[in-house]
Amino acid sequence: MVGYSDIPTGSAEHVDALLSGPARGRGAQLNPGNRFEDVRLHVLGEHLDELAIEHPDGRGVPTRVYADKSKTLLNRVDSPDLPFNWTINPYRGCEHGCIYCYARPGHEYLGMSCGLDFETRIMAKLDAPALARAEFGKPGWNGEHISLSGVTDCYQPIESRLRITRGLLEVCAEFAQPVGIVTKSRLITRDIDLLRELARHQAVGAFISITTLDNRLASAMEPRASAPRERLAAVRQLADAGIPVGVMTAPIIPGLNESEIPAILDAAADAGASGAGYTMLRLPHQIKALFLDWLKREFPDRAGKVESQLRDMRHGDLYRATFFERHKGVGARAEQVGQMFKVFQRKHNLHRKWARLSNEEFLRRKRVRESKGQLGLWNG
């Protein structure tokens, strides 16, 4: 097996490396057929039973990392219910393996499955920092707010070695490019030096996603993400460094983690968070089957209750993609959760709106570059 440290990080020509990783700790236990493929293969239950007997502790499913040779980096967002217009995703696929991740279906566009493939076959954009520098330097770019991790976590485990996100933040700091970050990883604290530089220009905001304080639930739902206590420690470190930081309780799963809302917001405020938000569980496309399979395995005593409450929030369906409904749900049950969140959000003074990220320093530096005939970026 090839370890993380053996992955070269220079050009986009080299990464098709096999990373070691234990079998236990994967979120999905299925690889459902790709919805775009006419032919689908399914493993018979009898074979799975045989494997379970032969390997009672699970089998190793290694992570493969491939070079993503995208030629552009900025993704335009047209969703009217999101607070940003642009995203950058350093990776496609996410080793955190969160069973509920709404980004899983994206792997089907690559000819893979939204199940185990999503968390074990990762596309890494090794040229991302160079692409970002080129795109930020274009005459038509004026430093609009960009969100990192719009799809998958920019601080997933392989970032500790590949350092693509750090390279992107170095470019953002160079240009004073406003950037927002959402992550479940304590690894974000590695880059406090760059985040602090961006914060000097009101050009950064970070949200740490905390879905539960229960280690058992966290390890089942988000097997390779940082433990809850580590995420709270990251909130404290960022706040102490003067970096605007909030907490996202995302997703809320009725009947599973909603009762923790008061405790999560209390812990977030104690750690120094200055904002909090939430989203309701979203199950687009094939994720429905993955999530229900996981729910029945991990929580058979309440699987029916959770599914019923989810349907109550989605007009009887497991998911509806309607703008302004998809993130919060509808109906009395969804309103009850929303009201509870608001009560404790206000109690801990986490309801205040942050100031908008500023591109004033980006525009100032752009004017300097243009006045020098694009000969270089002045960092003074």
Q: Is the pLDDT of residue 276 over 60?
A: yes
Q: Is the pLDDT of residue 40 over 70?
A: no
**146 DSSP assignment:** E
Determine if the peptide bond prior to 251 is cis (ω within 30°).
Answer: yes
Q: Is the pLDDT of residue 21 over 50?
A: no
- Contact in structure between 290 and 32 (CB atoms under 8 Å): yes
Residue found under tokens 């977030």: 268
Query: What is the model's pLDDT at position 108?
Result: 87
Which of 307, 208, 207 minimizes the C-alpha distance to 256? 307
Q: How far apart are CA 128 and CA 69, in angstroms?
A: 9
Query: What is the model's pLDDT at position 63?
Result: 87
pLDDT tens digits along 83-122: 889 999 999 999 999 999 999 988 888 888 888 899 999 9
- Contact in structure between 276 and 239 (CB atoms under 8 Å): no
Q: How far apart are CA 304 and CA 292, in angstroms?
A: 9
- Contact in structure between 52 and 108 (CB atoms under 8 Å): no
pTM across the whole model: 0.85
Residue found under tokens 């497991």: 318
Q: How confident is the model at residue 354 (pLDDT cuts 50, 70, 90)?
A: confident
Q: What angle do CA 143, 148, 154 make, to 5 degrees?
A: 145
C-alpha pair distances (Å), 133 with each of 153, 162, 164: 21, 18, 13
Helix (H) and strand (E) counts in the chain: 13, 11
**pLDDT higher at 247 or 52:** 247
- The tokens for 195 are 């985040």
Q: How far apart are CA 125 and CA 128, in angstroms?
A: 5
What is the CATH architecture of 4-37+45-351? Alpha-Beta Horseshoe (3.80)
Map out the domains of the chain as residue ranges: 4-37+45-351
pLDDT tens digits along 163-209: 999 999 999 999 999 999 999 999 999 999 999 999 999 999 999 99
Please state the separation of Cα 255 from the chain's center in Å: 23
